Structure 1
Amino acid sequence: MPLIQITQPPGFDNEQKRTAIEAVTQAYVDATGKPASSVWVTITEVPRESWGVGGTPLG
């Protein structure tokens, strides 16, 4: 069972998450030929103040 983990800042609504999960699953299926039913996707939301890019906090 493949597990794909997405970590992102909060802000996506449920429909956007659903769309992302469907798209990532389909991309994996297309790349590997594995059945979609075997692909797990999780989305973890991390507050912006807990992110940093290039040494600079985002929050």
Structure 2
Amino acid sequence: MQMEYIKDKKFIEHIRALITDDSTHDAPYYNITPSVDRFGTTHVSVMAADGTAVS
């Protein structure tokens, strides 16, 4: 996905409309195809400029 597409206002509004903060959705809602070959673990840590972090 190219950066220009990610910054497009229509794309942003589309993604914003998909976000719900009171429920979860089945996999098809997210338009993803899980890979059978996926295995292992993933860990993500994010730190903000003010020092707050989530992991």
Same fold (TM over 0.5): no
Greater strand content: 1
Max Rg structure: 2
What TM-score do the two structures reach when normalised by structure 1?
0.26
What TM-score do the two structures reach when normalised by structure 2?
0.27
Greater helix content: 1
Higher RCO (Cα < 8 Å, 6 or more apart)? 1
